[in-house]
Chain A
Amino acid sequence: ETGVTQSPTHLIKTRGQQVTLRCSSQSGHNTVSWYQQALGQGPQFIFQYYREEENGRGNFPPRFSGLQFPNYSSELNVNALELDDSALYLCASSWLGTEGYGYTFGSGTRLTVV
Chain B
Amino acid sequence: EDKVVQSPLSLVVHEGDTVTLNCSYEVTNFRSLLWYKQEKKAPTFLFMLTSSGIEKKSGRLSSILDKKELFSILNITATQTGDSAVYLCAVGRTSRQLTFGSGTQLTVLP
CB distance from B1 to the nearest CB of A (A): 10
Q: Which of A11-19, A41-49, A60-68 contacts B (4 or more CB under 8 A)?
A: A41-49
Please classify how large the interface on chain B is, using the bins under 10, 10 to 19, 20 to 34, 35 or more. 20 to 34
The contact string, 1 if C-beta is below 8 Å from chain B, for chain A 79-101, is 00000000010101010010111
Number of chain A residues whose Cβ lies closer than 8 Å to a Cβ of chain B = 31
Q: Are B43 and A43 in contact (CB under 8 A)?
A: yes
A41 contacts B102, C-beta separation under 8 Å: yes
Residues of B within 8 A of A100 (CB): 31-32, 48, 50, 92
Q: What is the interface of chain A mostly: helix, strand, loop, or mixed?
A: strand
Q: Does B41 contact A (CB under 8 A)?
A: yes
In the complex, the answer to whether A2 meets B42 with C-beta atoms within 8 Å is yes
Interface membership of chain A positions 90-114, coded 1 if the CB is closer than 8 angstroms to chain B and 0 otherwise: 1010100101111111111010000
**Is B62 at the interface (CB under 8 A from chain A)?**
no
Question: Any chain B CB within 8 A of the CB of A8?
Answer: no
Among B6, B48, B92, B97, max chain A CB count under 10 A is at B97
Residues in A with CB closer than 8 Å to B102 are 40-42
- Which chain A residue shows the least CB distance to B51? A99
Asked if B98 is at the interface of the complex by the 8 Å CB criterion, the answer is: yes
Give me the 3 closest cross-chain CB pairs, A-B, nearest first: A42-B100, A107-B42, A108-B41
